[in-house]
C-alpha cells in the first residue's frame, strides 16, 4: 500500500451512476412466503421482506444498488429479486465511469441529514460529490471490499447455523426427549417456585435516572436491551451471582453472572434453591410460552406456579454445561464478527477516501 494521493477526481454521484425506476419489478402480492423463487427486497435494514413465486418482472441485471428515495438507505444486490416499494431507485454503474461496488461502499461513508419527507436521488443525492480514482483502482478497492464482505457473510452464516443447532439441542435436552450418556433417572414435575427463590430488587436500585455510557457497574433490565448503561454508585450492588433477573410484568428474563444494579422495581431477582442448577432452569424458562393478559405482576400469582419437568441436579448441571459451552462458542464468533466489521470499516475509510492507496499497475 502507499499513501500518496494523486489523480483522484471530484465527480457527482449522478455522473457515475445511472438510475431506473422500480415500477416493472414491483411484487403484486404482499402476502410473502417464507420460501420462494425470488426474494422481495427493501433498501432498509430488513433487506429481505420475504419471497414470491411471481415469475414476471424480476430484476436480473445485477449487480445493482437499491436506493430508498426517502431515507437514502441502500443495499448492494448481486442476485435476482423483486421489489416492494416504488419509493426506490435501481442504481447501476455508467459504462467506463465507475465500479458499482466501489461507489456503493463510498456512499456508505456519506453522512446525509434527513430533514423532511421527500424523494432525494434526482434533486439532491445524485448531485453529491465524491473523489474517485481511475476505474482500475476503483475495481481493486472494490475487490478488497468484496473479499471482506464475503468473510463477514460467512461468519454470519456460521453464527446462524450454530444458533439453530443450539436451539434444537435445547429443545431436546431441556425437555428430556434426548438424554445424555450416563443418565437414566426419572424426571419430576415441579413448579418454578419450588426451584427458585425470589428477592425484591429495592436494595439494588440505581439512584440516578440517567445512566453513564461507561462506568464501574452496569445497570440492567430483564428486557432485550439488557444493559441500560453504567453507574459509579458503589452502594447496593448485587454481587451474589449467578442470578436470574425477571421482569414481573412482561416475564422476560436474563441470566446474570456479574455484579450489577437495576433500574426498575418491577423485577424479581431469582436464585436457585438447594438441589437446583440455576442455568438449567433459566434455559428451560426460555421454552415456556406464557400468554400475557392484564398489566400486572406475574411471578408470585401465576408464573411461579408454572410446572416443568426436571432431572437430578447432576443431570441438570451436565445439560447446562453443554449449553454454556455453546454460548461461549457463539460469543467468540460474535467477537470475530465484530472485529471483522471493524477491520472492514477501517480499511474502507482509508481506501475509499484515498488516504491509503493500493499498489495498482497503471494507477498513479
Give CA–CA dist 98/101, Å, rounded: 9
> The domain that contains 175 carries what CATH number?
1.10.287.1120
Look at residue 267 in the predicted model and tell me its pLDDT: 95
**Same domain as 316, residue 176:** yes
Domain count, the chain: 3
DSSP state of 130: E
| Domain annotation covers residue 3 | no
**Same domain as 192, residue 297:** yes
> The domain that contains 76 carries what CATH number?
3.90.220.20
Domain with 344 in it:
134-184+312-364
Tens of pLDDT along the chain (364 residues)? 555 566 899 999 999 999 999 999 999 998 999 999 999 999 999 999 999 999 899 999 999 999 999 999 999 999 999 999 999 999 999 988 899 999 999 999 999 988 888 999 999 999 999 999 999 999 999 999 999 999 999 999 999 999 999 999 999 999 999 999 999 999 999 999 999 999 999 999 998 878 999 999 999 999 999 999 999 998 999 999 999 999 999 999 999 999 999 999 999 999 999 999 999 999 999 999 998 888 889 999 999 999 999 999 999 999 999 999 999 999 999 999 999 999 999 999 999 999 998 876 655 4
| Domain annotation covers residue 97 | yes
**Same domain as 58, residue 48:** yes
**Same domain as 163, residue 231:** no
**Same domain as 297, residue 221:** yes
Look at residue 2 in the predicted model and tell me its pLDDT: 53
Domain boundary among 310, 333, 356: 310
| Domain annotation covers residue 364 | yes
Residues 6+ apart with CB under 8 A from 326: 162, 165, 166, 169
**Same domain as 259, residue 155:** no
Nearest CA among 142, 77, 137, 71 for reference residue 106: 142
> Do residues 176 and 289 lie in contact, with contact meaning Cβ atoms separated by under 8 Å?
no
**Same domain as 204, residue 118:** no
Look at residue 272 in the predicted model and tell me its pLDDT: 98
| Domain annotation covers residue 4 | no
**Same domain as 29, residue 144:** no
| Domain annotation covers residue 278 | yes
Look at residue 210 in the predicted model and tell me its pLDDT: 87
- What value does the CA radius of gyration of the chain take, rounded to a whole number of Å? 27
Nearest CA among 136, 115, 133 for reference residue 124: 115
Distance from the Cα of residue 235 to its chain's centroid: 34
**Same domain as 175, residue 118:** no
Amino acid at each position: 500500500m502507499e499513501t500518496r494521493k494523486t489523480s483522484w477526481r471530484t465527480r457527482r454521484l449522478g455522473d457515475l451512476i445511472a438510475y431506473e425506476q422500480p415500477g416493472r419489478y414491483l411484487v403484486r402480492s404482499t402476502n410473502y412466503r417464507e420460501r420462494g423463487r425470488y426474494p422481495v427486497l427493501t433498501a432498509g435494514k430488513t433487506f429481505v421482506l420475504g419471497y414470491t413465486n411471481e415469475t414476471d418482472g424480476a430484476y436480473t441485471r445485477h449487480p445493482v444498488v437499491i436506493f430508498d428515495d426517502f431515507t437514502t438507505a441502500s443495499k448492494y444486490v448481486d442476485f435476482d429479486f423483486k421489489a416492494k416499494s416504488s419509493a426506490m431507485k435501481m442504481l447501476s454503474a455508467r459504462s467506463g465511469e465507475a465500479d458499482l461496488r466501489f461507489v456503493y461502499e463510498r456512499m456508505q461513508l456519506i453522512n446525509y441529514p434527513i430533514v423532511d419527507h421527500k424523494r432525494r436521488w434526482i434533486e439532491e443525492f445524485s448531485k453529491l460529490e465524491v473523489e474517485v480514482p481511475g476505474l482500475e483502482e476503483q475495481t481493486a478497492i472494490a475487490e478488497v471490499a468484496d473479499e471482506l464482505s464475503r468473510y463477514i457473510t460467512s461468519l454470519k452464516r456460521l453464527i446462524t447455523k450454530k444458533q439453530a443447532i443450539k436451539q434444537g439441542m435445547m429443545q431436546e435436552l431441556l425437555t428430556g426427549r434426548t438424554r445424555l450418556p450416563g443418565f437414566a433417572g426419572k424426571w419430576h414435575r415441579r413448579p418454578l417456585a419450588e426451584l427458585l427463590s425470589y428477592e425484591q430488587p429495592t436494595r439494588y436500585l440505581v439512584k440516578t435516572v440517567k445512566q453513564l455510557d461507561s462506568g464501574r457497574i452496569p445497570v440492567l433490565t430483564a428486557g432485550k436491551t439488557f444493559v441500560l448503561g453504567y453507574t459509579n454508585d458503589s452502594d447496593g450492588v448485587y454481587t451474589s451471582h449467578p442470578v436470574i433477573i425477571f421482569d414481573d410484568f412482561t416475564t422476560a428474563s436474563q441470566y446474570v453472572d456479574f455484579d450489577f444494579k437495576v433500574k426498575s422495581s418491577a423485577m424479581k431477582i431469582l436464585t436457585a434453591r438447594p438441589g437446583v442448577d440455576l442455568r438449567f432452569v433459566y434455559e428451560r424458562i426460555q421454552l415456556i410460552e406464557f400468554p400475557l393478559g392484564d398489566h400486572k405482576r406475574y411471578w408470585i400469582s401465576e408464573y411461579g406456579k408454572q410446572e416443568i419437568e426436571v432431572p437430578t441436579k447432576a443431570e441438570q448441571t451436565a445439560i447446562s454445561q453443554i449449553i454454556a459451552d455453546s454460548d461461549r462458542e457463539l460469543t467468540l464468533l460474535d467477537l470475530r464478527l465484530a472485529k471483522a466489521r471493524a477491520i472492514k470499516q477501517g480499511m474502507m475509510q482509508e481506501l475509499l477516501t484515498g488516504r491509503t492507496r493500493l499498489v495498482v499497475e497503471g494507477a498513479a
